[in-house]
């Protein structure tokens, strides 16, 4: 059994830039806005030529955020974005650390991403690391540098002659520091002992089992044990009425029990990581379906209750041994679940895709051991997916959404 740790508060700060609204806050290569205004086309006129796949010439253009100073020593940064990439186009997302008035690390590539995989393989970039920082799939981990801020750069690529390039709609990141005693901080959303508006609320999120897909499509991870993240993303998109139209996944053959999950697994798949669990790849996929989507970290289930009260289910990443969280009788080094609500007593209600069938997906688990598994396993990693018309709850003073 997990013994609940003493209350703690982790420094967490999330910042996002929306394009084209925030275009002038950063710097770029004289980008132009699309006539629709729905995002930010980085391409305008002649740009630097760069080699694409198989030596094809491509046009390259970039936009860089201003430095984002967070006011605490950063241990990790996770980026996320939403974008559209026409056929043959892709984007590259980079991060670097910042301290005082200057960069404190080099640039590191966190993703080479495209909405589809027919022309470009979507991938993280392993093997990057030095004395300052290193890249662990979707996370920049600070090792030796002094980092109190971050800066992001998105570079878009399109083949010469392509009528349109990528359109960036959002680019942001969540920065986290080390855990410190709660006694040194004021509570962000009360003490956690009073009744929250989220308690006694369970959202009607559909229930999908990842294990129905065991052994299917090995080129995208093989379903079964490995498709928790795209299965959760598919559940929440369906909750919002934003699931892909049937013609989008008509390519799935045989169609199997739920072709929309197969479609999501393919389009979240990270070819370097060899899995569909890359955090920002899942939110970027969700962003293709008309919802706002980003990765952040929450400090506690008390913060999560505010989202449930607002009608927003969350996708959370946890790690635990079998039965450390009563009701979750399997080992996992990292698993995604949908937090759909809370009992009146504050216990979390989950859609756990690691069930043998859809009927077994809904589970209620004890609050303290699950919160410990979530915070310890991923530092509170959370995907937030919701239509832009649904307001987020008010953020805490140190805003992490």
| pLDDT at 346 exceeding the cut of 80 | yes
Same domain, 214 and 160: no
Answer whether 0.85 is exceeded by the pTM: yes
End-to-end CA distance of the chain, in Å? 31
Axis-axis angle for helices 279-287, 228-239 (nearest 10): 30
The model's pLDDT over 270-314, given as tens digits with 9 standing for 90+, comes to 999 999 999 999 999 999 999 999 999 999 999 999 999 999 999
229 within 8 A of 218, measured Cβ to Cβ: no
CATH of the domain at 327: 3.90.70.10
The band of 55, judged by pLDDT with boundaries at 50, 70 and 90, is low
pLDDT at site 48: 45
Q: What's the rounded Cα separation, in Å, for the pair 274 and 79?
A: 19
Same domain, 174 and 231: no
**How many domains are there within the chain?**
2
CATH of the domain at 69: 2.60.120
The band of 2, judged by pLDDT with boundaries at 50, 70 and 90, is very low
The Cβ of residue 144 has, within 10 Å, a number of other Cβ atoms equal to 12
Asked if residue 398 is part of any domain, the answer here is no
Same domain, 227 and 85: no
Distances (CA, A) of 210 to 105, 233, 260, 344, 364: 39, 11, 11, 29, 18
| pLDDT at 74 exceeding the cut of 50 | yes
User: 283 Cβ partners below 8 Å, 6+ apart?
Assistant: 80, 82, 233, 293, 294, 295, 383, 384, 385
Asked if residue 190 is part of any domain, the answer here is no
The model's pLDDT over 21-31, given as tens digits with 9 standing for 90+, comes to 999 999 997 33
The Cβ of residue 205 has, within 10 Å, a number of other Cβ atoms equal to 22
Q: Which residue has the tokens 């990057």?
A: 128
| pLDDT at 51 exceeding the cut of 70 | no
Same domain, 166 and 227: no
Q: What's the rounded Cα separation, in Å, for the pair 26 and 376?
A: 35
Note if the bond before 20 is cis, omega within 30 degrees.
yes
pLDDT at site 9: 72
Compare 265 and 194 and report the one with higher pLDDT: 265
365 within 8 A of 327, measured Cβ to Cβ: yes
Q: What's the rounded Cα separation, in Å, for the pair 143 and 151?
A: 17
The model's pLDDT over 119-137, given as tens digits with 9 standing for 90+, comes to 889 999 999 999 999 999 9
Same domain, 301 and 336: yes
pLDDT at site 73: 98
Same domain, 86 and 214: no
Please report the sign of the dihedral spanned by the C-alpha atoms of residue 241, residue 244, residue 250, residue 256.
Answer: negative
Could you say which of 166, 183, 200 is where a domain stops?
183
Element at 314 (helix H, strand E) = strand 314-320
Q: What's the rounded Cα separation, in Å, for the pair 273 and 282?
A: 14
The encoded tokens of residue 369 equal 């051991």
Distances (CA, A) of 40 to 85, 170, 294: 11, 9, 17
352 within 8 A of 363, measured Cβ to Cβ: yes
| pLDDT at 42 exceeding the cut of 80 | no
Same domain, 164 and 240: no
Asked if residue 116 is part of any domain, the answer here is yes
| pLDDT at 7 exceeding the cut of 60 | no
Q: Considering the chain, what percentage of its residues have pLDDT values greater than 70?
A: 87
Asked if residue 16 is part of any domain, the answer here is yes
Which residues form the domain of 150? Answer: 8-183
């Amino acid at each position: 059994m997990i013994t609940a740790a003493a209350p703690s508060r982790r420094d967490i700060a999330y910042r996002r830039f929306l394009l084209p609204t925030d275009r002038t806050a950063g710097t770029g290569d004289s980008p132009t806005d699309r006539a629709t205004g729905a995002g930010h086309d980085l391409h305008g006129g002649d740009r630097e030529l760069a080699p694409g796949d198989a030596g094809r010439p491509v046009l390259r253009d970039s936009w860089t955020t201003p430095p984002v100073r967070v006011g605490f020593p950063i241990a990790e940064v996770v980026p996320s974005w939403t974008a559209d990439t026409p056929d043959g186009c892709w984007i590259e997302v980079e991060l670097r650390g910042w301290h005082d008035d200057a960069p404190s690390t080099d640039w590191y590539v966190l993703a080479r991403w495209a909405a589809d995989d027919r022309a470009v393989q979507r991938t993280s970039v392993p093997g990057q690391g030095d004395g300052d920082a290193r890249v662990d799939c979707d996370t920049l981990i600070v090792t030796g540098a002094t980092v109190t801020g971050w800066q992001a750069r998105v570079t878009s690529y399109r083949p010469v002659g392509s009528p349109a390039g990528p359109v960036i709609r959002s680019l942001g990141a969540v920065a986290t520091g080390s855990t410190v005693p709660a006694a040194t901080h004021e509570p962000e959303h009360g003490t956690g002992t009073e009744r929250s508006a989220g308690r006694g609320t369970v959202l009607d999120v559909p229930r999908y089992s990842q294990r129905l897909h065991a052994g299917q499509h090995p080129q995208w991870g093989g379903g079964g044990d490995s498709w928790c993240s795209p299965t959760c993303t598919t559940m929440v998109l369906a909750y919002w009425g934003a699931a892909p139209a049937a013609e989008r996944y008509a390519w799935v053959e045989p169609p199997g029990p739920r072709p929309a999950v197969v479609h999501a697994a393919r389009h979240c798949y990270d070819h370097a990581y060899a899995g569909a669990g890359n955090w920002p790849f899942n939110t970027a996929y969700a962003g293709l379906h008309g919802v706002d989507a980003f990765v952040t970290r929450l400090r506690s289930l008390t913060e999560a209750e505010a989202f449930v009260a607002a009608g927003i289910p969350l996708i959370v990443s946890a790690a635990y041994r079998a039965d450390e969280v009563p009701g979750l009788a399997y080992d996992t080094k990292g698993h995604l679940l949908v937090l759909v609500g809370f009992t009146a007593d504050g216990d979390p209600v989950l859609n756990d895709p690691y069930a043998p069938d859809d009927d077994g997906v809904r589970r209620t688990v004890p609050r303290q051991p699950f919160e410990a598994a979530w915070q310890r396993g991923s530092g509170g990693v959370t995907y937030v997916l919701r239509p832009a018309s649904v307001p987020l709850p008010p953020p805490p003073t140190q805003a992490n959404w």
